[in-house]
Amino acid sequence: MIDIIFEDKSLLVIDKPAGLASQPGEGVAGSVVSVLEKQLGYKVYPIHRLDKETAGCMMLAKDAAAASRWSTMLAERQSHKRYLALCISAPSKETGIYRDALTIRDRPLEAETAYRFIAGFGVLPKEGAGGAPLVSGQPEGRNQRLGEPAFSLVEFRLGTGRTHQIRRHCAMHGHPIIGDDRYGDFPLNRRLKKEAGAKRLFLWAWGLELPGLGIITAAPPVHFIDFLSRWPEAPRLESVLASLSAKMSSKAQHNMDCPSAASSSSHKEVP
């Protein structure tokens, strides 16, 4: 069963589990679409996709017209998808926007990822430190710049929707997502899998801002909760989500009270 977070006459928002593909395809044993159609008994239309290993909010429509309408709202940035990731190391600044072009099918395409550093935690032992566990040691590991945490919780908002955009931008800027088996730190991922049970990609589509519907959020994935619980100084997702939701609600209320400010605001604004 796939959890349905929100439903009305034309829209479904589901809590996609990690490890399930968004759509059917060659070599795909099961997908959100196939499972949901069997569960509901009618055809559904994906409005956007999430990577197979990404958990969280995914939008589907009950008819083709609704799918087109919501897809347009996403493309025109009337609706926004919010992500949280657990990264190795941390961004160099508290907030910013990555605008590195990404090559898709041999073509360089414009890409824009806004980020906000939420919290850092953990240290990495020195290499060759006698098998010291990841939860202790001095902050001088190979994957760590001086004074930076071993890991960080970072929020993202997309200005464009390129394939693997968040994952690629994170890797390009020195803080790959934990568990990323394509762009990440493979040796450290293997160690985290063995010592900290980090078997999945730590990217989560935690929330949606939808016009007329407000803020819709997904439940924290179990693998996020388990990983964070291993470090006493790590942030607690409950308080993080409460703070992020409050900021989103405050911004939405301001835009309703001051529509001219909302219409003139740039999509390049950091969330």
Taking CA atoms, 8 is separated from 1, 126, 201, in Å, by 19, 53, 31
pLDDT digits (tens, 9 = 90+) for 70-113: 999 988 888 889 999 999 999 999 999 999 999 988 899 999 99
DSSP string, 149-177: -SEEEEEEEESS--TTHHHHHHHHTT-PB
Rounded to 5°, angle at Cα 270 from 216 and 219: 25
Residue 154 is predicted with a pLDDT of: 97
Residue 201 is predicted with a pLDDT of: 97
Q: Where are the domains of the chain?
A: 79-211
Look up 51 and say whether it is catalytic: yes
21 pLDDT above the threshold of 60: yes
Sign, Cα dihedral of 90, 93, 94, 95 = negative
**What is the C-alpha separation between 217 and 3, in angstroms, rounded?**
12
Catalytic residue among 3, 8, 51, 181: 51
Residue 250 is predicted with a pLDDT of: 65
**Comparison of pLDDT for 202 and 270, the residue scoring more:** 202
pLDDT digits (tens, 9 = 90+) for 138-187: 333 334 444 578 999 999 999 888 889 999 999 999 999 999 999 999 99
Structure pTM? Answer: 0.84
The enclosing H or E element of 7 equals strand 3-7
Beta-carbon neighbour count of residue 187 at 10 Å?
11
**Comparison of pLDDT for 85 and 267, the residue scoring more:** 85
User: In the CATH scheme, what is the homologous superfamily, with its name and number, of domain 79-211?
Assistant: Pseudouridine synthase (3.30.2350.10)
Nearest CA to 16 out of 61, 47, 56, 52 is that of: 56
Strands (E), 33-131: 45-46, 55-61, 80-88, 95-98, 102-104, 107-109, 113-121
Cβ contacts of 108 within 8 Å, gap of 6 or more = 101, 102
**What is the C-alpha separation between 75 and 153, in angstroms, rounded?**
27
132 pLDDT above the threshold of 90: no
- What number is the average pLDDT over the span 127-138? 49
Mean pLDDT for the chain overall: 84
Residue 79 is predicted with a pLDDT of: 85
